[in-house]
Amino acid sequence: MEYKNLLVAKEGGIATITISRPKALNALNAEVIGELYALWKELEADENIRVVIITGDGEKAFVAGADIGELKELDALGGIELSKRGQSLLWNIENSDMVSIAAVNGFALGGGCELALACDIRIASENAQLGQPEVNLGIIPGYGGTQRLTRLVGKGMSKLLTFTGDMADAQEAYRIGLVEKVVPQAELKETVNKIAGKILSKGPKAITAAKRSINAAANTDLDSGLRYEMAEFGAVCATEDSKEGTTAFMEKRKPEFKGR
């Protein structure tokens, strides 16, 4: 499929999606959401792709939010439609067997911050600014920001950012756990590719099981989470990859994982 607002590059198991609406700082209008939804499905169907990097075009913005011009025109039904598509896109990203990394290369505001929050890992450039400024517009986060931001940085910090609409610069975002690493803009791509490559070198089944188990931690009580981990652990023990990984260690060689 052709995408008007997305650049897609695939290389050795890694897909990089660049959201490209430079005139609106890569803001998410309904068309971009629809394209991301379709592209995500396309990547899911490609069994070679195991890590997806999401970034924004240019050096100024990751995604500056939902498209405010479009939001202004929304009626109730339109709002529900947009919400359905956007929320299921982010749910698909969060619950995918593929690992997602947000390369936050500038402003990640509102829906842009929420997109980054749905990814597994966030790496920011030094010029990045993240926040949920929806209250400035008289609305609240609508793509899961109140939930995912709170789980990541805690209730108080989530409220501070959301109630004030203030942006956190990259260092502050790192300090509060909103991003996992901060690097100079010139090193962002290389850093993210290196992390993606490292993840690719591990057993695919193990990465998926670990992702599901860690996601469960945010959604369940400790006892249920531990039971979930136990079941996933049991399942990976039955994979060829777990035999290969442990045998390779004993034989002092590098494992060759097959994803089985």
Candidate ranges 30-38, 95-103, 129-137, 235-243; the one touching ligand DAK (CB under 6 A): 129-137
3-state secondary structure of 168: strand
The reply on whether position 143 binds ligand DAK by CB under 6 A is yes
Number of H helices, E strands in the chain: 11, 10
The reply on whether position 137 binds ligand DAK by CB under 6 A is yes
- 123/167 Cα distance (integer angstroms): 16
Q: Least Å distance between CB 23 and ligand DAK?
A: 6
Contacts of 258 (CB under 8 A, 6+ apart): 240, 241, 244
Q: Least Å distance between CB 176 and ligand DAK?
A: 19
The reply on whether position 257 binds ligand DAK by CB under 6 A is no
Exactly one of 35, 114, 172, 232 is catalytic; name it.
Answer: 114
Catalytic-residue membership of 134 = yes
Candidate ranges 31-39, 40-48, 64-72, 224-232; the one touching ligand DAK (CB under 6 A): 64-72
- 47/50 Cα distance (integer angstroms): 7
The reply on whether position 66 binds ligand DAK by CB under 6 A is yes
8 A C-beta contact, residue 204 and residue 145: no
Question: CA distances (Å), 180 to each of 49, 99, 123, in order?
Answer: 23, 15, 6
- 71/78 Cα distance (integer angstroms): 9
- 230/213 Cα distance (integer angstroms): 9
Exactly one of 134, 187, 240, 256 is catalytic; name it.
Answer: 134
Q: Least Å distance between CB 142 and ligand DAK?
A: 3
Token reading at 241: 């990859």
Query: Which DSSP string corresponds to 45-75?
Result: H-TT--EEEEEESTTTEEE--B-HHHHHT--
Catalytic-residue membership of 240 = no
3-state secondary structure of 236: helix
The reply on whether position 14 binds ligand DAK by CB under 6 A is no
Token reading at 205: 């089944």
The reply on whether position 64 binds ligand DAK by CB under 6 A is yes
In the complex, residue closest to ligand DAK by CB: 110
* Count of positions on this chain that bind ligand DAK (CB under 6 A): 24
List the interface residues with ligand DAK, window 80-119 (CB under 6 A): 82-83, 86, 107, 109-111
Residue with Cβ nearer ligand DAK (47 or 166): 166
**CB atoms near residue 30 (< 10 Å):** 16
Candidate ranges 62-70, 91-99, 151-159, 221-229; the one touching ligand DAK (CB under 6 A): 62-70
The reply on whether position 142 binds ligand DAK by CB under 6 A is yes
Q: Least Å distance between CB 178 and ligand DAK?
A: 16
Positions annotated as catalytic residues are: 114, 134
Contact residues: ligand DAK, CB under 6 A: 24-25, 27, 64-69, 71, 79, 82-83, 86, 107, 109-111, 133-134, 136-137, 142-143
